[in-house]
Amino acid sequence: MSSNPRSVGIVGLGSWLPDNKISNYDLMKLVDTSDEWILSRTGISERRKASEQEAASDLGLMAARRALAAANVRPEEIDLIIVATITPDMFFPATACLIQKNLGAINAAAFDLSAACSGFIYALSVGSQFIANGHYDTVLVVAAEVMTKIINWEDRNSCILFGDGAGAAVLQPVAKDSGFLSFELGADGTGAEYLQIPAGGSRKPASLETVLNKEHFLKMNGNEVFKFAVKKMGDISVKALEKAGLTEEDLDYLVPHQANTRIIDAARKRLGLAEDKVYINLDKYGNMSSASIPIALSEAVAKGYIQKGNIILLVAFGAGLTWGSAVIKWAI
Ligand code: COA
């Protein structure tokens, strides 16, 4: 191990979305809602839904293969796989182990990380430390979510918001002073009750009663999450820039968590960014929790909106409550 930290960055990205689309009009057949309400309050028009047979590891595997191909990295070269998810295939083993097997990443350690919608940024931060300190050379970060399987389709407050998808990033050493410039992570467990699945864990194990009460589905206090998100997204964006020794003026592009256009707009305005400097795809996919940012990043790079040398900011908030932001000097 070297005593000088190495610069670490993303050297390949991939994403995967199920084909099946659920429009706002489809949801009007399930709950008392309208296209106009959903679009004006959230910005979402449609979202993707995995099939009955598909689980998080299936979506994550496809995204991972694409990221590896983009990075020109073979599965045997991966030292560590971190999967950010709140919709794992099962409690254990980790979804990361299932992806490790299916990829044939025989030399990789593997574990899952639970930080909800902030999970991808948390995983980038954790994964990059192993490379910075010389412990590993190649880390695969996957964020995979099948939110449609944990949604209560009778709850109009929440079922309109979420969709399924996966994104992946390959991390390796990059040229000095490029790649990740700063991370800002945080949590406030006093807000745990605002967004949770109440039953199925060791606090309230599954029983007939918990199933009948629909306690295995996501429960959310939308207003509280909204207020928290609007404040936190702006605050931690500025903090991450400061940590990197930069200001809002240095920022080229923002890739925020895709939960609500009103939340994203508040963050954009706080940073003084033009609308075309922010990537938004939640109109097509809804909120895919940890997978939203890597999918958005992957699309923004593929479309040429992010170029080598650009300063970009990732910022997310989620259940926990958790939050995370990252400043990156794009290295490829
Ligand atoms: N269709 C129609 N009406 C709906 C509705 C729906 N799908 N969902 C809620 N409503 C109703 C409410 O019942 C309420 O009616 P009432 O005034 O008669 O009680 C009214 O619309 C306003 O509800 P409110 O919750 O105040 O709306 P809002 O403007 O705060 O928007 C959210 C609701 C959920 C879109 C918004 O709070 C939000 O985006 N919160 C953040 C959620 C989030 O990002 N979660 C994931 C975190 S990673």
- Kindly state the average pLDDT of the residues 2-24: 94
Query: For residue range 50-106, what is the model confidence (pLDDT) as tens digits?
Result: 999 999 999 999 999 999 999 999 999 999 999 999 999 999 999 999 999 999 999
Q: What is the mean pLDDT of the chain?
A: 97
The two tokens of residue 106 are: 């025989």
Please name the residue whose Cα sits nearest to atom 44 of ligand 1.
259
3-state SS class at 30:
coil
Number of neighbours of residue 127 by Cβ within 10 angstroms: 26
- Kindly state the average pLDDT of the residues 184-195: 98
* Residue pair 136/110 in contact by the 8 Å Cβ criterion: no
Residue 190 Cα to ligand 1 midpoint, Å, equals 22
Q: What is the pTM of this model?
A: 0.97
According to DSSP H, which parts of the chain are helical? 24-27, 35-42, 56-71, 95-103, 119-132, 208-212, 222-243, 261-270, 282-285, 292-302
Share of the chain above pLDDT 90, in %: 99
Fold of 180-329: Peroxisomal Thiolase; Chain A, domain 1 (3.40.47)
Angle value at C-alpha 34, between 32 and 40, nearest 5 degrees? 130
User: pLDDT tier at 4 (50, 70, 90 boundaries)?
Assistant: confident
Q: Pocket residues for ligand 1 (CB within 6 Å)?
A: 33, 37-38, 41-42, 117, 156-157, 160-161, 195, 220, 222-223, 225-226, 229, 259-260, 287, 318
Q: Is 159 a catalytic residue?
A: no
Q: What is the pLDDT of residue 3?
A: 67
Q: How are the residues of the chain apportioned to helix, strand and coil, as percentages rounded to the nearest 5?
A: 40, 25, 40
Q: What is the pLDDT of residue 2?
A: 54
- Kindly state the average pLDDT of the residues 289-317: 98
Catalytic residue among 117, 152, 159, 260: 117
* Residue pair 298/14 in contact by the 8 Å Cβ criterion: yes
Query: For residue range 120-144, what is the model confidence (pLDDT) as tens digits?
Result: 999 999 999 999 999 999 999 999 9
CATH number of 8-176: 3.40.47.10
Q: Is 310 a catalytic residue?
A: no
- Ranges in the chain annotated CATH 3.40.47.10: 8-176, 180-329
If one residue of 31, 39, 197, 223 were mutated to test the ligand 1 pocket, choosing by the most ligand atoms within 8 A of its CB, it would be 223
Q: Is 97 a catalytic residue?
A: no
Please name the residue whose Cα sits nearest to atom 46 of ligand 1.
259
